[in-house]
Copies of this chain bind each other. A is one copy, B any other.
Amino acid sequence: MSIKIGIYGYGNLGRGIENAIKQNEDMSLVAVFTRRDPATLKINTPDALVLRADEVENYKDKIDVLILCGGSATDLPVQTPQMAEMFTVVDSFDTHAKIPEHFKNVDEASKKGGNVALISAGWDPGMFSLNRLYASAILPEGKDYTFWGKGISQGHSDAIRRIEGVKNAKQYTIPIEAALEAVRSGECPEFTTREKHLRECFVVAEDGADKARIEKEIKEMPNYFADYDTTVHFITEEELIRDHSGIPHGGFVIRTGKTGLNKEHNHIIEYSLKLDSNPEFTASVIVCFARAVKRLKDEGVSGCKTVFDIPPAYLSAKSYDELIKTML
């Protein structure tokens, strides 16, 4: 029987979920819930409904897993606990520092509702977290490193757009190749922020804007740019649309560590992603975890879970026999 999915919020991530469901034969999309006027929303699944967000509570018995596609800043801290009381849910909450607090709130709500709620699915947090955990468990005496990019950082692009005189902007986070190589050498280097990543900005200035001032404001912006080597390119809106419309991303999780009676042997574990579409890949990960939480819910489990709790076999549509025959 098909796993019935609801999508709550229909931005880039919500559309990615819709596409990912089409790639998984054991799933079907029941409805998209939106804060916009449903009449204005065109989706790509003919037999799915488009409904107002406040109608979601009428679908408690018609949806197995509700996937929350709002933002981490203001949406998910409210929506995930709220929805977890009514539904088994998955979110992609990605404010790392606030995960323990979010976990606690969602755990209470989901237990109250007798539901499973998996938070922080995606690739970081998500697959990168899993790789940090596996690698550090395997090599207790070692050090791990996460690099991001090359890819578009939405937060940094937004920060540039808030500068006076900026019409549009895209910012790429780029890992520094020399730093990656130093890590892979097994020397366990320590890096400053500047030594790990570069920031490259493509900016469309408004007519007559003071480009020198804009460049200075970007490069000196605390937290976002001041600690990095940042390059700024001024381009036209046409160039921005032509060359920088994608949402690529990716990165590396590398752990190096030592084994042996005298720590004489080095080992390198490396996991990397190269993604043409950040939201679509995130969606593809979330959809696997939706399959897993459905199974946990069917087993009578409730409460907040993370990627760390899920037996890997639960993510696959394949039978266990097939998995051990073809993948082990």
Contacts and interface: CB of A to CB of B under 8 A. Distances in A.
B277 A306 contact: no
A266 B259 contact: no
16 contacts: A19-B259, A127-B269, A129-B327, A136-B316, A137-B316, A137-B317, A138-B284, A138-B285, A138-B315, A259-B276, A259-B277, A265-B277, A267-B284, A271-B271, A308-B312, A310-B311
A324 interface: yes
Given A259-B16, A274-B267, A311-B309, A328 B137 contact: no
Interface stretch (A82-90, A95-103, A151-159, A217-225): A95-103
A268 interface: yes
Copies of the polypeptide in the assembly: 2
Nearest to A308: B313
A328 to B, nearest CB: 5
A313 B132 CA distance: 11
A265 B75 CA distance: 27
B311 A308 contact: yes
A236 interface: no
A281 interface: yes
